[in-house]
Each structure stands twice: as structure tokens, then as C-alpha cells.
Amino acid sequence: MEIVTTIVFMALIGAVIGAFTNHIAIKMLFRPYEAKYIGKWRVPFTPGLIPKRREELASQLGKLVIHYLLTPELIEKRYLNKEVQGRIQRVVEEQITSGLGFETTPISKWLERAELKNVTGSVKDLIDSQVDFQALKITDKLQTGTVQTVLPVAWQLKVEAKLPELTSSILQKGTDFIESPEGNRTLKQLVDDFLASKGTFGNMILMMVGDSNTLANKLQPEIKKFLDAPSTQTLITNLLVQEWDKIKERPLVELLNGFDAAPVVEQIKAYIHKQVAIEEQLEKPVTHFFPTIGAVVSDSILPKAFDYTFKRLHAELPALFEKLKLDQVVKEQVNTFPVSRLEELVLGLSRREFKMITILGGVLGGLIGVIQGIIALVINS
């Protein structure tokens, strides 16, 4: 009985010592939080291991994060792969299809979403300013330029090409007039006026030919021959060409003397505003102007935008991680983290395991006590 009592007593002593030492060892990981001094002498093993090695621990945790936990390769593998890209693209396409309302939402609503105000007034002001600007340019050009320098060359060539046709038209009109009764009466009146202006000489001529009707009838065919002669056509055409050349050299402002352009400019503005009808246009959906915008966005713009974005992310991710300096961020956070909170966190996660370590220390201490008791009994016997 004495032997059993001795062995049990030794086992209990060993278990208590083993459990207590393990418990103290666990506590010394964190406690004390700060170094303890007796005078100027620092008490050994103060502060605890983690507070003492806090700077080194923070640095190692930072390296652990960037080298093993949060690496560019891991981010690319988990979040920048084709599957994720396709999933994001599908979500965005669904939002565009169902939420944006290309077919129903008027353009004015889109402008409101973009916080663009008074677009109608801005467009009208832009139109007016552009019309005024162009009118000013034209006015300045008209004030300083000649017909030849202002009119486009193509217009000038068209005018010159029409001159022979104009000559033919003038001569044909003249022929038709001479052959008409009105032309005959006009010619008779001209003969009467001519003879009357010549006094006695005129009366002598009238006595020789009979009356003015006879003289007018004789002149009528001759005038018609003159008008139908090719030389007359050439003469009139040359005269028109000469006059046209003179007109081209004249300043255009002389031809437009007294012309007020302001009413014309206002009419142009009113016409453009009426044709543009900006208020009505802004109340129409986007598909009114771009019927295929939905398909273009889904089939072309989004795939290209996502492809470009992910390619840029792949290319810039290492440099981005370098700029972020995540290891320094982790180190700074760990250094500012209260040791008591860190102890609470670690013990909260591993309290059961630490208890098992304490119990294991007691078991091992008990076994050592049993062995010591047996050895002591053997030696004493």
C-alpha cells in the first residue's frame, strides 16, 4: 500500500508541475505585455514572446501575406480568370438590357441621370452662335471680296456655260416679239416717233414710202434676219461675256448695297430650330436614332471593354501590388493592434488546443512522476 501511495503521490506532483509549466508557457507567449523592471534591472522573460517580437512578427506576417496569401498570381487565378470575366459581363449585360431601357427611356432621362441640365437651351444657343459666326464670316468676305473671289469657281463656270444659252433665249424672245402683233405695233410706233422727230425730212420719207405701216412691215423682216444671223448670236454672246467679266471684278458689296442680312440670319435660325426640334428629339428613346445600340453594346462594346480592362489588370497587377505595399500595411496594422486584443483573438481561436496542451503537460508530468516513483522505490529497496 505504501508503494502505491508513493507512486500516486509522485504522479500527482508530476502532473501538477507539467500542467502548470505548460500553462505558464502559454501565458508567457503574451504576458506580460510590457517589460518589468526592478530598479534598472529588467526582469527576465519580460515582456512576453509575442510583445517582445512584435516588430519581427509584424514584418513576417506582412511578408507572409504578399508572398503566400495575397499574391498577384492568386488574384489572377481566383478573380481575373475567364469564368469571372464572363460572369461579370453577363451581369452587366442583364443590367443594360433590363435596367437602362434603351427602347423606352427618353434621351432627356439619360441626360438627367448624367446631371446634364438645360440641354435644350444649350443646343439652341449653340445653333444660334454657329449661325451668327458663319454669317459674320460670310459678311466679312462679302465686304472685302469681289464676285470672282467670293463665288465658287464651279458656279462661275456654270454661269459662263449658260451665256450662249442666254443669248439664244434673248434672240428668240426678240424674234417672237417682232413677229407678234404687239411687236408690229411697237415697231410702227417707233417709226412714227422717228419720222416725227426729223421734221420735214421725215415727212419727205413718209411721202416716199406711203405710210408708217408700210415702212414698219418692210423693217420687220430685216430685223428678224438680223436677230437670226449667226454673227448676231456671236455679238450678243461676246457682249454678255464682257459684261460678266466686268461684274466679276466688281466688289460684291456694291451689288448688295442696302441689303440687310439680319432678317435672313434670323429666318435661317428659325428654320434650323424647326428642323432640329430638339425638344421633340430629346423625348425619343435612344433606339429611335440607334436601333441596334443594344446589340452593339452587348456584342461589341462590352466584350472589347472587358477584354481590354482584364488585359490591363493582368499587365498592371504586379506593379499595383508593388505600389500598394501590402506588407507595410499589414506590418503597420499589426504594430498598432493591442496585444491584449491579439491575445484574446488567438486564445479565442485556439483555447481548446491550449487546454489540450496544458492537459498533455499534466499527463506527461504524471507519467514522469510514476516513473520517478518506481525508480525511487527500486533504489530504496
User: Are the CB atoms for 162 and 272 separated by under 8 Å?
Assistant: no
Question: Domain ranges in the chain?
Answer: 2-81+314-380, 123-276
- My answer on whether omega of the bond before 47 falls inside 30° of 0, hence cis, is yes
The three cell numbers locating residue 130: 454657329
Can you tell me which residue has the cell 452587348? 298
| pLDDT for the residue 348 | 67
| CA contacts within 13 A on the Cβ side of 365 | 19
Helix (H, G, I), strand (E, B) or coil at 71: coil
- Is the pLDDT confidence value at 175 over 80? yes
Q: Which helix (H) or strand (E) holds 188?
A: helix 181-197
Most confident of 111-115, 281-285, 335-339: 281-285
- Give the pLDDT of residue 211: 58
CA distance readout (Å), 108 to 112, 134, 276, 285: 6, 29, 15, 9
Query: Where does 32-176 show beta strands of DSSP type E?
Result: 37-38, 41-42
CB 8 within 8 A of CB 369: no
User: Residue 197: what pLDDT?
Assistant: 64
Q: Which 8-state DSSP code applies to residue 41?
A: E
Length of the chain: 381
Cα–Cα distance between 107 and 118 in angstroms, integer? 13
E strands of the chain, at which residues? Answer: 37-38, 41-42
What is the structure's pLDDT at 108? 78
Q: Name the burial class of residue 45, with classes exposed (0-12), middle (13-18) and buried (19+) by CB atoms within 10 angstroms of its CB.
A: middle
Q: What is the mean pLDDT of residues 32-55?
A: 72
pLDDT given for residue 40 in this prediction = 78
pLDDT confidence tier of residue 210, bands split at 50, 70 and 90: low
Q: pTM to 2 decimals?
A: 0.43
Helix (H, G, I), strand (E, B) or coil at 151: coil
CA 6 to the chain's CA centroid:
90
**Range of weakest confidence among 30-44, 116-130, 219-233, 358-372:** 30-44
Q: Is the pLDDT of residue 182 over 80?
A: yes
Q: Is 42 helix (H, G, I), strand (E, B) or coil?
A: strand
Query: Residues 6 or more apart from 149 whose CB is under 8 A from it?
Result: none
In contact, 249 and 184? CB cutoff 8 Å: no
Cβ-in-10-Å burial (0-12, 13-18, 19+) of 246 comes to: exposed
User: What gap in Å lies between CA 251 and CA 290, rounded to an integer?
Assistant: 48
Question: DSSP assignment of 253-306, as one string?
Answer: HHHTTT---HHHHHHHHHHHHHHH-HHHHHTSBHHHH-TTHHHHIIIIIHHHHH
- What torsion do the CA atoms of 293, 295, 301, 304 make, to the nearest 10 degrees? -170
Q: Please report the sign of the dihedral spanned by the C-alpha atoms of residue 285, residue 291, residue 297, residue 298.
A: positive
pLDDT tens for residues 312-346? 877 777 777 777 777 777 777 777 777 777 667 66
Confidence of residue 97 (pLDDT cuts 50, 70, 90): low
Instruction: Please state the rounded mean pLDDT for residues 64-80.
Output: 73
Predicted pLDDT of residue 199: 59
For 280, phi then psi, to 5°, come to -70, -40
Amino acid, single-letter form, for residue 93? E
Q: Contact, 150 vs 142, CB < 8 A?
A: yes
Helix (H/G/I), strand (E/B), else coil: 48: coil
The predicted pLDDT at position 191 comes to: 66
